[in-house]
Structure 1
Amino acid sequence: MASPHRQASAHQSFEKGPILKLAKTDIHETLNQLNARAVPENHPVATQFSDTFGEHTLFLDTEGLSIIEPAQEAEDERPTGQVVKLASWLDNTHTQLMVQEPEYTDTFVVLRRAA
């Protein structure tokens, strides 16, 4: 798994928010919609990023490391989350990450299936 590097002052405007760990069913739904893999909670990179950004479920993909933030939803819609990129790969072998200013992407995922 990757080792994170810090970019000076890159994360200062992102407030460390509440715990936003996804339930197992939401992780499964997210993985079905994104070409990513979940970072195990006990992995050292998870601890390092939770110290900076709060406790979240972390995902790695070809772009880098991301989290899912709750998105606005209409009352008749299923819950969705927006992908927020926290770090980019420094190399083509995907072994080192550079922390960056959180980037709210245009990618959204449906979290829980309607009953």
Structure 2
Amino acid sequence: MKLNSSQIERTLHQFDAQAIPAEHPAIPKLERLFGDHTYFLDNNGLNIVEPVEAEQADNRFGVIVNLASWTDDSAASLQPHEPEPTELVVDLETDLRH
């Protein structure tokens, strides 16, 4: 799922990661491999946000899905694998103005 700038900001407040900017040179290759998403890098590797499957799922909540893991501790290379949903669910509509 492609997130807008507000959703990216909300996700990063709940998920310790870095968003890969849409203009990054790796994005076209990632989109060919995995589809049209907003991509995040964290300590585990490459991740996306997918809508939570639920009755009232109006894309308010998203689950973090890991697509590729770091090959070693240097975090220099990623190894793709089958998408693995994590336990982390983010609220994409939380008001951050506290």
Q: TM-score range by the shorter chain?
A: 0.7 to 0.9
Q: After the TM superposition, which residues 103-114 of structure 1 pair with which residues of structure 2 at under 5 Å, given as runs? A: 103-113=84-94
Q: Which has the higher contact order (CA 8 A, sep 6+)?
A: 1
- In angstroms, what is the RMSD of aligned CA positions? 2.0
- Percent of pairs with identical residues: 39
Counterpart of 1:86 in structure 2 is 67
**Greater gyration radius:** 1
Distance across 1 between alignment mates of 2:76 and 2:25: 14
Unmatched runs of 5 consecutive residues or more in structure 1: 1-19
Q: How many residues align?
A: 95
Counterpart of 2:6 in structure 1 is 25
Counterpart of 1:5 in structure 2 is none
| TM-score, normalization by structure 1 | 0.75
For residues 51-81 of structure 1, the C-alpha deviation after alignment (integer angstroms, 9 at most, x for no partner) is: 0211100000000000000113454x98100
For residues 4-41 of structure 1, the C-alpha deviation after alignment (integer angstroms, 9 at most, x for no partner) is: xxxxxxxxxxxxxxxx2101000000000011000011
Unmatched runs of 5 consecutive residues or more in structure 2: none
Distance across 2 between alignment mates of 1:63 and 1:52: 19
| TM-score, normalization by structure 2 | 0.87
Distance across 2 between alignment mates of 1:79 and 1:72: 11
Following TM superposition, the consecutive aligned residue runs of length 4 or more in structure 1 with deviations greater than 6 angstroms are none
